[in-house]
Amino acid sequence: MNASTNAAVNTDRAKVVDLRSDTVTQPTAAMRAAMAAAPLGDDVFGDDPSVNALQTALAERLGFEAGLFMPTGTQSNLAALMAHCERGDEYIVGQYAHTYRWEGGGAAVLGSIQPQPLNHAADGSLPLADVEANIKPDDPHFARTRLLALENTIGGKVLPMGYLAQASELAQRHGLSRHLDGARLFNAAVAVAAAEGGDPYAAAKRICSHFDSVSVCFSKGLGAPAGSMLCGSRELIRRARRARKMLGGAMRQTGVLAAAAHHALDHHVARLGEDHVLATRLAEGLQGLPGLTVEAPQTNMVFCDVDKEIATQLVAHLKREGVLSTGLYKLRFVTHLDVDAEGVDRAIAATRRFFQAQA
């Protein structure tokens, strides 16, 4: 490598391409302006106008009676579970769902709600026969099965609309409530709209029509700095508000965060399709590398199967090259609004250099 090439590489490395998660996004200038201009009140008293406007807007767009703004998706999901279930109740959930695996066991630890985890099918769904087989009879030997919790997207995969309808019918037939962890609901909605035509907001409403509650995260693909919202019936939100208080999530002049979320809701939904395109570009660029099996992305996540030791070395190599990724159980790259085509191409080139050196 000559001096001029080395200088170019060093210049490239000065700009980090962060593909660890879509949670790393920074507020845009327009979002910061919306935050600065937000009218504020005390949300514990229910008089923060920015929070109230956001809660009304999202609930109406998704077809629910009410919404409740919370600081995190973990808290939004937990408050939902606590609103649906009582101590000693059970919810059916996937092995790799966030509410079971990635949120600290809060349902069991703080809600005294027993999870019944099931294995996922290849498309991320929970096989309906398995769901039905694990609904407990009304018998004092068993925890009471009260809730079916699904996630969409799940590992970047979009649950099929037909499956959602069938899962909803099964749950209702057995008297179960239905909760959706829709942290990336709008990624799923954009993908559905692209495949079937129509508007992403309408697709999101269709998805939510199969659930009694949904938790939506603003700090992932939508690009806000913090915040999630639980939507549901007025009665469910009343119970969730009590849970939020117990969990320490009641905030005061939180309209600055609500304004960021509202800006994201109005301006950052349709652009999620750009992230999906870049994820496909990344996956295609990684195809054909020895020992690396690349899953075709459906939204903004690219997963790769690779030997665990090689994955550890690759993540370290990419970091030295100014590309950040994760490798908890698979190698994962996530595209978002702070990643462009140039950054994706840098990630591809850096990964290819690693495997060329291995060869």
Per residue of the chain (359 residues), give pLDDT as tens.
343 333 343 344 458 999 999 999 999 999 999 999 999 999 999 999 999 999 999 999 999 999 999 999 999 999 999 999 999 999 999 999 999 999 999 999 999 999 999 999 999 999 999 999 999 999 999 999 999 999 999 999 999 999 999 999 999 999 999 999 999 999 999 999 999 999 999 999 999 999 999 999 999 999 999 999 999 999 999 999 999 999 999 999 999 999 999 999 999 999 999 999 999 999 999 999 999 999 999 999 999 999 999 999 999 999 999 999 998 778 999 999 999 999 999 999 999 999 999 87
pTM of the model: 0.94
What is the CA angle 243-246-252, rounded to 5?
Answer: 95
> In the prediction, which pLDDT does 14 show?
53
Are 187 and 276 contacting, i.e. CB atoms less than 8 angstroms apart?
yes
φ, ψ dihedrals at 150, nearest 5°: -115, 170
Residue 39 DSSP one-character state: -
Distance between CA atoms of residues 153 and 12, nearest Å: 33
Strand, coil or helix: 3: helix
Task: Give the pLDDT confidence score for residue 9 in this predicted structure.
Answer: 39
Specify the amino acid at residue 154. I
Question: Do the Cβ atoms of 333 and 155 come closer than 8 Å?
Answer: no
Distance CA 85, CA 107 (A): 10
How far is residue 194's CA from residue 277's CA, in Å, rounded to a whole number? 11
Task: Give the count of beta carbons closer than 10 Å to the beta carbon of residue 25.
Answer: 22
pLDDT of residue 47: 97
- Smallest CA-to-CA distance from 330 within 280, 282, 288, 294 is with 294
Helix, strand or coil, per DSSP, at residue 23: helix
What are the chain's domains?
3-25+271-358 (3.90.1150.10), 38-267 (3.40.640.10)
Q: Which tokens belong to 86? A: 């009582």
